[in-house]
Amino acid sequence: MKMLINVPETVVADALRGMAAAHPELTVDVENRVVVRRDAPVAGKVGLVSGGGSGHEPLHAGFVGPGMLSAACPGEVFTSPVPDQMVRAAAAVDSGAGVLFVVKNYTGDVLNFEMAAELAEDKGIQVAQVVVDDDVAVSDSTFTAGRRGTGATLFVEKIAGAAADEGAPLDRVVAVARQVNGSSRSFGVALSSVTTPAKGSPTFDLPAGELELGIGIHGEPGRERRSMMTSGEIADFAVHAVLEDLRPTGPVLALVNGMGATPLLELYGFNAEVQRVLSERGVPVARTLVGNYVTSLDMAGCSVTLCQVDEELLRLWDAPVETPALRWGR
């Protein structure tokens, strides 16, 4: 497989050096692998810290900035960051108002963030945690106990980040983050395998003419494998899977997310089918976001995330945000 890299061992460091050069509004510690908004800590503001394995860009470092995350900790490719990174990030953004860790539900991430929270508390930093577990495809899968954390991570980071930027106290920011997670569900589909720099070849076999329904963002297996389906058929399956579990009674945010190698031409076409299914099911859509946001390196495919919102959550979603990968209203 051809990759635009030097050597696998320096992929993450090289990417962070490039991010630092492109985004002077961020403080990028390449050696310790921590990305922080340059104005942190902001007086009286709750700090939001997230992180996870690299390879899911722009998640998480691409969401650092006003209106979203205060800091992010990138691990090695598909590998959790370590507690030391998380403690450094917490210390960098703590203004005395506390810090919220946003954690995707993968065993390594959960254990390391829990350890980091204990270490940060020992340093006098008040820490709360919210675990994102929105994937309806499978439970107790590879890397997880319970549901995987996927697209809803973006919703949690954006909406809780807006609450924090407005000066909400830690308990309120935590409540908002948990409400968003509890109101969100996701389902992903792979059209091709993923190739990690260390392996240099596909991590699993997905024959030509087949797709995997319910795939995870590390290439974990899904519900079933089928012959290739049309965009409309995939939307029918994915949206129905989400709605069977979420059962919204009001408007939703919709994220139509690419897995990294799917062009926008296809994603917008897929979004048309997602909107069709939601209309047929009588689900009003308040806002839609289309693009590659929670990815899996070079995997072709897509995911659908829906979050039921009330007026307050929608207001926080619409609030200004200015990060490398998400920005509006400023």
pTM over 0.85: yes
Check: CB of residue 294 under 8 Å from CB of residue 260: no
Q: What is the Cβ-side half-sphere exposure of residue 152, based on CA atoms within 13 angstroms?
A: 32
List the chain pLDDT tens, one digit each, 330 residues: 899 999 999 999 999 999 999 999 999 999 999 999 999 999 999 999 999 999 999 999 999 999 999 999 999 999 999 999 999 999 999 999 999 999 999 999 999 999 999 999 999 999 999 999 999 998 766 667 789 999 999 999 999 999 999 999 999 999 999 999 999 999 999 999 999 999 998 888 899 999 999 999 998 888 899 999 999 999 999 999 999 999 999 999 999 999 999 999 999 999 999 999 999 999 999 999 999 999 999 999 999 999 999 999 999 999 999 999 999 997
Check: CB of residue 149 under 8 Å from CB of residue 134: yes
Q: Residues 219-226: contacts with CB within 8 Å, 24+ apart? A: 219/190, 219/193, 219/194, 219/296, 219/299, 220/138, 220/141, 220/142, 220/143, 220/148, 221/138, 221/141, 221/142, 222/137, 222/138, 222/188, 222/189, 222/190, 223/137, 223/138
List the catalytic residues. Answer: 56, 218
Q: Which residues face 100 on adjacent strands? A: 48, 128
pLDDT in tens, 53-102: 999 999 999 999 999 999 999 999 999 999 999 999 999 999 999 999 99
pLDDT in tens, 178-223: 999 999 999 999 999 999 999 998 888 899 999 999 999 998 888 8
**Tokens encoding 200:** 């240099």
Q: Which residues face 132 on adjacent strands? A: 104
